[in-house]
Structure 1
Amino acid sequence: KVEKAIAEEWANFLKHGPTDEELERSRMSSRAGFIRGLEKVGGFSGKATVLAESQVYRGDPAAYKLDLARIQQATPETVKAAANRWLAKGDYTLTVVPVAEGEAIDDAAPKGLPVADGKPAAVMPAKADYSASKSTLDRSSGVPKVSDFPDLSFPKIQRGVLKNGIEIALSERHTIPVVQMQLQFDAGYASDQGRKLGTSSFAMALLDEGTLTLDSVEIARRSELLGARISAGSGLDSSSVSLNALTSELEASLALYADIVRNPAFREADIERIRGQWLADIAQEKTQPTGIALRTLPPLLYGDQHAYGIPFTGSGTEASIKSLDVKDLRRFHREFIRPDNLKILIAGDTTLAEITRQLDKVFGDWQATETPVPVKAIANVNAPTKARVFLIDRPDSPQSLILTGSLAPSTTVANNIEIQTMNGIFGGTFTSRLNMNLREDKRWAYGASSFLQDAIGQRPFMTYASVQTDKTAESAAEVLKEARAVIGDKPITDEEIARIKAQRIRALPGSFETTGSVLGILSGNALYSRPDDYVQTLKARLQGQTKADIEAAARAVIKPDALTWVIVGDLEKIEAPVRALKLGDVKVMDADGKVLR
């Protein structure tokens, strides 16, 4: 059916070509993508790549200008002619099917598919003689030392207020004619407490599926014509709607953006379509070790009545998603997506006066309802005092996932930088102790790491290792050994601290190459109540860390004998060895977190 639909569309395109509007949408998409790509130096679309491709393929580093001109000059007739010249000569279908041992390939092929009689002869390049030119580079002293590093440059944060009281923050960035913005609402997964789990994520996903006057196709069509990107979603503590727009099309893009935010339709047909996809995603999460672990660990750490005691995927449960209805979604939107629960964060090619004027046109008359914004109760949790182990069966799995969790202080704490440095040493970088042990030394895992999920309340500190099945117990023992050592007989060293400091300080100037990265700082500052000069003072605070403070951070976060372990794998092969480790009380549960024994 899919092949037939594609063939029909293709035949129609070759016969009629694109419409004027289709060409205009494609033209705008190409232009906008090119402009956005130029903000980077490298990558797959940055300035260096554009110049290099122009030189390699066309012999002129400025040849990209010819390509841009051709796109702008294209007509439906020239596009149709090009398609028929280059793409109408027939097609080739490759079907890949499993073949049983001893079975002939022709016997395994699906019946009814044509089998090619032969294959094109290989065309080899002309023979040529190549030789390497003599190098004049002196390599005897090793890798050249770098001693001169650029200074950090971060645009000043300006603040303003719309006529209805909405606060805005702007960092001007005029490198490319693009403006990015985020509407940040105090909601997120944590707002699902007392509601059907997944409400926040589901409601935000439906915003761009239709407004009172536009359906999803029309929203997509208008976005393409404007070269705008609009997206919505939720994290643990906040929900947001983002806009990435060309400066030349900003006013029209803002009008579409505001309509999506303020007037979602929540049509039954859209809800049912997204519901089906959502349930499939949950089912998929429950077949993947990482998804299983991230669904089951948070309720074990926080308790299932806590605002954070939910699947950290944000997707909810099958039962909750099946029961969601229009009333639930409208209630969430009414209570949380409102002007008195909003901060607008902007970065890019505009000024405070201009963006305030434009935002006032689309958001300045937005008035909140009389009912107050619900208060999220993010309670403090008493950490477990002893280790617990939860095993989840995944029969025939060639690997086991080992995830440990414990509770760490909030992202807002004063020693957050010391906590991050400690984590970099323990498991947060490639050369960390965990990764060097399980990957580089033992070769039992492709990678092993530790990480902290940012949160306004107590945040989870987790270790992660996907290991070969027959080394599951041994790997768990190594994770525990490293956790005990870093606060015990193998304390953090000056050399480890110096390495993390150098890496993070030297990475700072390149960390804000794009407007999106600048907007990310504005978002983090707003969410975690950071001062406007947070970035500008980072270097001094990174340099000022002391060994004693980093060691104290390790002792405050790493609790090796009170870890909550979630291990997903083939229980027939791993259960007995894991039990023999005596890590703690062992229970077996299913992918929904229900204890089986």
Structure 2
Amino acid sequence: MRLAISALLLASALSPLSAAPLAKPVPLPELAARVSLPYQEFTLANGLRVIVSTDRKAPVVAVSVWYHAGSKDEPAGKTGFAHLFEHLMFNGSENAPGDFFKPLESVGATDYNGTTSFDRTNFFETVPTAALPLALFLESDRMGHLLGAVGQATLDRQRGVVQNEKRQDDNQPYGLVQYAEQQALFPDGHPYQHTTIGSMADLDHASLGDVREWFRGHYGPNNAVLALSGDIDAATARPLVEKYFGDIARGPQPTPTLAAVPTLPARKDETIHDQVATTRLYRAWAIPGLADPDIVPLDIASSVLGGLASSRLDNALIRKEGLAVSVSAGVEPLERVSQFEVQVDVKPGVDPQLVGRRLDAIIADLVAHGPTADEIQRAVTQEIAGRIFGLEKVGGLSGRAAVLAQGAVYTGDPGFYQKQLAQYAQATPASVTAALQKWLTRPVYALTVAPGPRAPYEEAKAGQAATKPIAGTKEVAASGDAPVMGPKRVAPPVGDISNLTYPAITRTTLSNGVKLVYAQRTGLPLTSLAITFDGGFSADPKAALGTGSLMLSLLDEGTTTRSSAEIASDQEHLGSRIAAGGSMDRAEIDLVVVTPNLAPGMDLLADVTLNPTFADIQRVKGEQLAGIQSQLSDPEGLAGRMLPGLIYGAGHPYAVPGGGLGDPAAVAKLTKADLVAYKNRWLRPTDSSIFIVSDLPLATIQPMLEARFAGWKAVGPAGTKALDTPVPAPRPRIVLVDRPGSPQSVIEAGEVLTAKGTDELLPLIAANDALGGSFLSRLNMDIRETKAWSYGVSSGISRYAGRIPYLVAAPVQTDKTGPAIQAMLGDMKAFLTTQPITDEERERTVERSVRQLPGSFETGNELLDAMQRNDLLQRPDDYYAHIADTYRALTTAELNAVARADIKPEQLVWVVVGDAAKVKPQLDTLGLPVEVVKAAPAK
């Protein structure tokens, strides 16, 4: 009977609305003309180069400091020093003692962090305009007044944190590939041969004198660039920068580390084994640095090969031949030497050698004959559109300030990105082919990572220290002596910080009942839309977990008018992206597009939403099954799949393995009729909303949507959920998933609270901020910053519509697994009894939360997400306009009361993924039942 009904639904659901032919996209020169980033610059007497770009859309300023010092500049025996110093520079300076994040959080900074690469170390934060003097004070103090605050204890703690970061990265599937690639592509002594995180041995041997010498030699103002972007201009910036940075003395002038592009003497094939689900093939070459004129055509070639959704590898190995489940290709642009890398995940059951030969043939064909003009146009359109979207942010890792700083540091020209865009626009099949034939006819490094036991893991050898001098690097003449403290500097006060101005939200409906929720965001020509419907992982039938994810994955894999490859190609012509995905309570189909191409972008969105054929189900099902196996081979994926069922009970809608990919046995049985029936139950016009953020007015957009969606009709009855399904009584215990050889244990814990996501949970969120919700929280400061057992610990809620879970996450070094759980339990119990939230913690949380608001909705997608959250949680559309008052009204007593009422550490269920032989004896001392299960073997 079920099959008969499904067949009837199939017949009615796939009677397509006619899809309009794709309108012509805007020409590339016109699109490229939209990318403009004006700036001014000046240089202080001490050599600090300052770049200022004004953008008044929000009362925030991005501060980005780039030091021209990275891992390629490290001599033998000092690998990892640049990255270690990134950590040390977050631990207070002479006039700003304590954690660097504390004053940043107090002023409501957003997008704040630091990173290290082969070529540079950067620090960045976006602050309210009134807090810019404080941000400049902090950055200048750690540039010119750091070493007096760096003692042996600080060095030892951050060394431990960095080593746990290394263990965390290495513990991932394919985590040792980086070491294999660097060792193979670069000869002994090459500055790019060792990884940025360095070797355990070198980190262990770093002395206080060593790190002082390294800092003095590389972090002077004459080796740095300061970029400011946002609510600032050069005339205002100059006196502020002079005030805070002008008295810092020049450092020694580092000699630039030069590095030639190495060529392998012959093709090198290598195979390693790891706890992975899928055999992965790599092809890699060393290519020239990012200022070389061949980098742009090589980047275009990588997109054509495996970067575009309609790439040659996608079309051949996945869509046509069914030999792979995932492909990619890309260029990692570095200062002196870049890398061109191709990856292919072999379809389970297919001979990897066969796929390797086919992969090499496709690459050889592209090298011999080059790309077509159409392929180049699609690649360049995507590149330009991506840059436009990236410039929505003034700061962060890749916003306006970072783009300008990168050009200045690597090429001496802040406007380098514009010259590169001109190169992209001028690329031809001949220029791309010439670059390919020059660089990719050289011998390749071919690495295969196959499922199997990982070779014995020796941490001290994982990133082997160089045993020979590193060519091109030079020891800078700088003292390792103890620092001499300078005159006391006083942090400036912070002025009045502007309140959030939340845009007006307009609601209306299309003629068929589809709800529209709209906000206008002027400035860049960008539009983001999300068709949201009441589905999500919790809508999956319990006997068929993964149905929703498979249905969503197939929407853009073929319609009644377009093939999968044509859909991908059309998106690329438009500089757009259509993606379908789900969360626990909702599913959505997203469109992001440059506004000049909005009309054809909507044509494509309507086609994939209304006219999918689900014709390629077997291929996409295979990809989803491979994704499940990948989760089962990943320690965090294992924990995330297991925990929901343990705390919600098998019958609850929220007892869904993490990520919603589902149960492999159930996914394998799904049919086209199952997917059509699911779509008809959940993707319905009267139960759907279209959220829109655009520079165009609603009066222009609504008729466009009406023309494309007015004919959408519901088919059959709507789906229902039983979110009120009872949750079983808590049964606290430890479930240990045995993963032999793991260098680190992944710990996740959870419990189900009585609260629902639709309740006002701001007091609980604020209370947890002090416990585990921020970098300065008690859990993170204890386990990471004090004990140095982890790279990071957190706790918090998942905001579901029904009863919500409280979750704790802590990856820790193997020998501290039991002690870490014991310490976290102790921290939580003290937090709820003898050491409650303090007035200072309440003040810090409230100030940070309120002051972050103006910088929290910089991009259209951030605003779109906020509009969707309000809708899901049944909050008013202007919720964020009044949230500051709600925060300010919170009292310390209220926060303590809600924490004690909701958080029950004694009811937590703990999942530990690690080496049971080493971990179980530690867990047996904790007084909780311990259940041991085997991790699924890699297939």
Encode CA deviations 1:213-267: one digit per residue, 9 max, x unaligned. 2221111111101111000011100111100011111111111111111111111
| Partner residue in 1 for 2:864 | 519
Contact 1:407-1:557 at 8 Å conserved across structures:
no
- C-alpha change, 1:313 and 1:63, in structure 2 (3 Å) is closer
Aligned residue among 592, 597, 604 for 1:244: 592
| Partner residue in 1 for 2:465 | none
Q: Does 1:36 align with 2:389?
A: yes
| Partner residue in 2 for 1:104 | none
For residues 570 and 99 of structure 1, the distance between their equivalents in structure 2, rounded to whole angstroms, comes to 15
Shift of 1:125: 9.4
Q: 1:173-252 counterparts in 2 under 5 A? A: 173-252=521-600
With normalisation by structure 2, the TM-score equals 0.56
SS at match of 1:402: strand
For residues 901 and 544 of structure 2, the distance between their equivalents in structure 1, rounded to whole angstroms, comes to 34
Encode CA deviations 1:506-530: one digit per residue, 9 max, x unaligned. 2211111111101111111111111
Aligned residue among 533, 545, 550 for 2:890: 545
Contact 2:504-2:519 at 8 Å conserved across structures:
yes
Q: 1:245-264 counterparts in 2 under 5 A? A: 245-264=593-612
SS at match of 2:556: helix
Q: Does 1:90 align with 2:459?
A: no
Q: Does 1:300 align with 2:646?
A: yes
Question: Partner amino acid for 1:436?
Answer: M
For residues 83 and 296 of structure 1, the distance between their equivalents in structure 2, rounded to whole angstroms, comes to 46
Q: Does 1:451 align with 2:823?
A: no
Q: 1:1-40 counterparts in 2 under 5 A? A: 4-5=357-358, 7-40=360-393
Contact 1:418-1:553 at 8 Å conserved across structures:
yes
SS at match of 2:856: helix
Q: 1:366-385 counterparts in 2 under 5 A? A: 366-369=712-715, 371-379=716-724, 381-382=726-727, 384=729
SS at match of 1:236: coil
Contact 1:236-1:312 at 8 Å conserved across structures:
no
Contact 1:296-1:591 at 8 Å conserved across structures:
no
For residues 887 and 614 of structure 2, the distance between their equivalents in structure 1, rounded to whole angstroms, comes to 47
Shift of 1:361: 1.2
Encode CA deviations 1:521-571: one digit per residue, 9 max, x unaligned. 111111111111111112111111111221122012211222222233333
Question: Partner amino acid for 2:692?
Answer: I
For residues 579 and 627 of structure 2, the distance between their equivalents in structure 1, rounded to whole angstroms, comes to 19
Encode CA deviations 1:168-227: one digit per residue, 9 max, x unaligned. 011101121110010111010110144401111111111111112222111111110111
Contact 1:233-1:239 at 8 Å conserved across structures:
yes
| Partner residue in 1 for 2:931 | 587
For residues 378 and 410 of structure 1, the distance between their equivalents in structure 2, rounded to whole angstroms, comes to 10
Contact 1:190-1:237 at 8 Å conserved across structures:
yes
Contact 2:367-2:441 at 8 Å conserved across structures:
no
- C-alpha change, 1:468 and 1:72, in structure 2 (3 Å) is closer
Shift of 1:33: 1.6
Q: 1:6-405 counterparts in 2 under 5 A? A: 7-53=360-406, 61-62=414-415, 64-81=417-434, 83=436, 87=439, 90-91=442-443, 93=445, 124=472, 140-267=488-615, 270-369=616-715, 371-379=716-724, 381-382=726-727, 384=729, 387-405=732-750
| Partner residue in 1 for 2:826 | 481
For residues 454 and 24 of structure 1, the distance between their equivalents in structure 2, rounded to whole angstroms, comes to 42
For residues 577 and 79 of structure 1, the distance between their equivalents in structure 2, rounded to whole angstroms, comes to 58
Contact 2:557-2:563 at 8 Å conserved across structures:
yes
- C-alpha change, 1:287 and 1:68, in structure 2 (3 Å) is closer
SS at match of 1:532: coil
Q: Does 1:500 align with 2:852?
A: no
For residues 100 and 192 of structure 1, the distance between their equivalents in structure 2, rounded to whole angstroms, comes to 41
Contact 2:394-2:400 at 8 Å conserved across structures:
yes
SS at match of 1:535: helix
Gaps of 5+ in 2: 1-353, 458-468, 479-485
| Partner residue in 1 for 2:318 | none
Question: Partner amino acid for 2:388?
Answer: I
Aligned residue among 490, 507, 510 for 2:835: 490
Contact 1:210-1:266 at 8 Å conserved across structures:
yes
Identity %: 38
SS at match of 1:184: strand
Encode CA deviations 1:312-347: one digit per residue, 9 max, x unaligned. 221111211111111111111111112122011011
SS at match of 1:240: strand
- C-alpha change, 1:8 and 1:301, in structure 2 (3 Å) is closer
Moved more, 238-247 or 291-300: 291-300
| Partner residue in 2 for 1:109 | none
For residues 80 and 577 of structure 1, the distance between their equivalents in structure 2, rounded to whole angstroms, comes to 59
Encode CA deviations 1:83-139: one digit per residue, 9 max, x unaligned. 55x5377345376999999xxxxxxxxxxxxxxxxxxx9985999999xxxxxxx96
For residues 302 and 528 of structure 1, the distance between their equivalents in structure 2, rounded to whole angstroms, comes to 20
Contact 1:160-1:352 at 8 Å conserved across structures:
no
Shift of 1:144: 3.8
SS at match of 1:537: helix
Gaps of 5+ in 1: 102-120, 131-137, 593-597
Q: Does 1:425 align with 2:770?
A: yes
Shift of 1:423: 1.4
- C-alpha change, 1:161 and 1:100, in structure 2 (3 Å) is closer
Shift of 1:462: 1.0
Contact 2:385-2:594 at 8 Å conserved across structures:
yes
Moved more, 12-21 or 339-348: 12-21
Contact 1:380-1:458 at 8 Å conserved across structures:
no
Moved more, 357-366 or 555-564: 555-564
For residues 448 and 338 of structure 1, the distance between their equivalents in structure 2, rounded to whole angstroms, comes to 41
Question: Partner amino acid for 1:152?
Answer: L
Shift of 1:278: 2.0
For residues 351 and 465 of structure 1, the distance between their equivalents in structure 2, rounded to whole angstroms, comes to 46
Contact 1:383-1:406 at 8 Å conserved across structures:
no
Q: Does 1:469 align with 2:817?
A: no
SS at match of 2:822: helix
Moved more, 275-284 or 325-334: 275-284
With normalisation by structure 1, the TM-score equals 0.86
RMSD value, Cα: 3.0
Question: Partner amino acid for 1:390?
Answer: V
- C-alpha change, 1:476 and 1:362, in structure 2 (3 Å) is same
Shift of 1:364: 1.3
Encode CA deviations 1:251-308: one digit per residue, 9 max, x unaligned. 11111111111111111xx222222222222223223332222222212211111111
Contact 1:289-1:568 at 8 Å conserved across structures:
yes
For residues 551 and 127 of structure 1, the distance between their equivalents in structure 2, rounded to whole angstroms, comes to 54
For residues 394 and 365 of structure 1, the distance between their equivalents in structure 2, rounded to whole angstroms, comes to 53
Q: 1:400-411 counterparts in 2 under 5 A? A: 400-408=745-753, 409-411=755-757
SS at match of 2:718: coil
- C-alpha change, 1:276 and 1:533, in structure 2 (3 Å) is same
